[in-house]
Amino acid sequence: MALPDAPDEFALIAELFAPLAADAPGAFGLTDDAAVFTPGEGRDLVLTVDALVEGVHFLANDPPGTIARKLLGVNLSDLAAKGATPKGYLLTAAFRPDTPFAWMRGFAEGLRLGQQAFGLSLWGGDTVSTPGPLSFSLTALGEVPKGGMLRRSGARAGDDIYVTGTIGDGALGLLAAQGMLSGLGAEDAASLAGRYRVPAPRVTAGPRLIGVASAALDVSDGLMADLGHMCAASGVGAPVETASLPLSPAAGRALAAEPSLLGTILGGGDDYEILFAAPPAHAAQIARIALETGVPMTRIGRLGEAGEQTGEKVRAIDPDGRIFIPNHLGFRHF
Amino acid sequence: MALPDAPDEFALIAELFAPLAADAPGAFGLTDDAAVFTPGEGRDLVLTVDALVEGVHFLANDPPGTIARKLLGVNLSDLAAKGATPKGYLLTAAFRPDTPFAWMRGFAEGLRLGQQAFGLSLWGGDTVSTPGPLSFSLTALGEVPKGGMLRRSGARAGDDIYVTGTIGDGALGLLAAQGMLSGLGAEDAASLAGRYRVPAPRVTAGPRLIGVASAALDVSDGLMADLGHMCAASGVGAPVETASLPLSPAAGRALAAEPSLLGTILGGGDDYEILFAAPPAHAAQIARIALETGVPMTRIGRLGEAGEQTGEKVRAIDPDGRIFIPNHLGFRHF
């Protein structure tokens, strides 16, 4: 733990953050300059970092607890998609001099809830002062059996494409949170906005996919973009069958009311589900993992050879045979 | 590596940051969502994080390369003082939309020089956009033999107090950089400002202190404050003999010209030297380590029993017997 810049940062650390480190003996109650961690035997460490900036990655009036849970969630989603079991995290928090202590308390409470849900501890951090937007950076660490980390590369033509949970809720939820989703009941809007604000990383399902999935990543940029990343890394192509897309009831009703939202569902981000490829021979095993973890895993297509052009590697086909090809500005519709 | 927010962040990562990850196979050229690291057998991992915010921790017109080296340096200084050998780091960089690419290139070049000097690689990162001050957060990871990490606690009454290198250059250098140090030659001013801008973490000396030092931390808040932290954690007290303080030639001349700068030297920060305690029986071994690493190690006092009051645990005594006792606003002078 870096030392605080001002006396009341001692209170901040002692009151709000030290309790989050209580379960990690190597964090020394955040009273030393560094943390120590003894990795499990035969384990690799998996590391990822993601930052959130006020006005860029979250809205200024988002509740502090949900910002904290999102910060933890986006990082744990990366770990989960790599097959890693979360162990601990280090946090940088840049608060303004006028950030109320109650706001910080709400933020710490969000971290506490996230830790409880996903089984990890705070190992260290740095709280700094900023004259600018609130900014947070979180480094998350997890473990996999040696050599087991799931990669973006490794998928082969003929592998099935799967996605966990439901797709599109994050992007629709952002619209709902901004009041830009008309013709939707209040309950549906709240449910979608909740999915946007508080990701539910698939921390139990991810590690089960080691040895089962041939490639995996989490859906953060949007289904088509992330599938494109996997295809590019693996040298394959991928048609997604839109009729197979797993939608939440709220997303299904939003799409029925406004069919053009299909582009948002395919292209939007913030789903934090796991997108993975697996040989067809693993289908029964995947069904069993889904059953045992309670995490739905839906087949949404099959990988083919790469198209001649990069832009055609990933496409979506709707039940009427219409093709959607993403480009970096959104989607061209044919 | 989190995915970039905008297309030109791909270029940023590919051109500037991926080369910094080339030596780390587990960073996958920053093309996956996480890095993997296989810890050495019988090794513990040591982790620390520190952030720098423009206008708070560095000056807006500081050269980008020195900001990068400072960011790396302050973190590696924490690792060094814990006895850890640096292995890798994860970086969050928040740039403004109008931050010139050349500035970022200078920043990356500073990281490259730091990596080269201290023997570690970039493992992952996140580049984000901010409307506010440039902000950087760096998580550094190192290794120690299992159970070997040096702690703030563990020092005992009767142990000698040592410090590596020279003390006060960082704080005097900040004054010099701001043109607030009058009566000093241009060369001395530049030398001190350089120490402030580019810390030289004691990465080779630190690991040698395992099994030798009873407690250690780096001098970042200021000698007296950091000695106070060690004393508080170890339950001891400490008189520092000001006549023993190792000063650089430039700092010595600054102090001779303006004796009141002693307060700045004792109380200022940013030295990034290692402050440690060791039993007197280890004196010869410490001298040998200093010789072999080329890092001066100077005895500056001896730990005693803790005073009755916390504020009196740490004091400095000058050759005339005058006592300096730090308080959180600076120093009371008796």
Q: What is the pLDDT of residues A145-171, one digit of tens each?
A: 999 999 999 999 999 999 999 999 999
Residue type at B134 in one-letter notation:
L
Lowest mean pLDDT among A134-138, A233-237, B165-169: A233-237
> Is residue B278 over pLDDT 90?
yes
Among B45, B46, B66, CA closest to B54 = B66
Neighboring chain B residues of A328 at a CB cutoff of 8 Å: 7
**Is the CB of B36 inside 8 Å of chain A's CB atoms?**
yes
> Is residue A325 over pLDDT 60?
yes
Q: What is the pLDDT of residues A16-59, one digit of tens each?
A: 999 999 999 999 999 999 999 998 999 999 999 999 999 999 88
Overall average pLDDT of the B265-283 stretch: 95
Lowest mean pLDDT among A49-58, A72-81, A259-268, B279-288: A259-268
Which pair of tokens denotes residue A325? Answer: 């090809």
Reported in sequence order, the residue ranges of B187-310 that DSSP labels E, i.e. its strands, are 215-218, 236-241, 274-278, 297-302, 304-305
Neighboring chain B residues of A132 at a CB cutoff of 8 Å: 53, 130-133, 135
Q: What is the pLDDT of residues B135-149, one digit of tens each?
A: 999 999 999 999 999
Instruction: Give how far Cα A243 sits from Cα of A226, A262, A321, A322, Å.
Output: 19, 11, 10, 11
Round to whole Å and give the CA distance between A53 and A272: 18
A160-333 folds as Phosphoribosyl-aminoimidazole Synthetase; Chain A, domain 2 (3.90.650)
Q: Which residue of A has its CA nearest to B226?
A: A3
Overall average pLDDT of the B158-175 stretch: 95
Candidates A36, A137, A151; nearest CB to B46: A36
- pTM recorded for the entire structure: 0.93
Where is B287: in which H helix or E strand? helix B283-293
For residue B242, what pLDDT is reported?
A: 77
* Cβ(B171)–Cβ(B197) below 8 Å: no
> Is residue B52 over pLDDT 90?
yes
For residue A240, what pLDDT is reported?
A: 80
Higher pLDDT, A178 or A213: A213
Q: What is the CATH number of domain B7-145?
A: 3.30.1330.10
Which pair of tokens denotes residue B170? Answer: 């960082």
Lowest mean pLDDT among A47-51, A91-95, B236-240: B236-240
> Is residue B306 over pLDDT 60?
yes
* Sign of the Cα pseudo-torsion (B16, B17, B18, B24, in order): positive
For residue A241, what pLDDT is reported?
A: 81
Domain boundaries in chain A? 7-145, 160-333
> Is residue A308 over pLDDT 80?
no
Neighboring chain A residues of B3 at a CB cutoff of 8 Å: 220-221, 229
Is there a contact between A39 and B45 if contact means CB atoms under 8 Å apart? yes
Overall average pLDDT of the B15-35 stretch: 95
**Is the CB of B327 inside 8 Å of chain A's CB atoms?**
no
Q: Give the confidence band of A323 by pLDDT, cuts at 50, 70, 90.
A: confident
Q: What is the pLDDT of residues B79-100, one digit of tens each?
A: 999 999 999 999 999 999 999 9
Q: B160-333: same fold as B7-145?
A: no
Round to whole Å and give the CA distance between B109 and A276: 37
For residue B313, what pLDDT is reported?
A: 63
> Is residue B119 over pLDDT 80?
yes
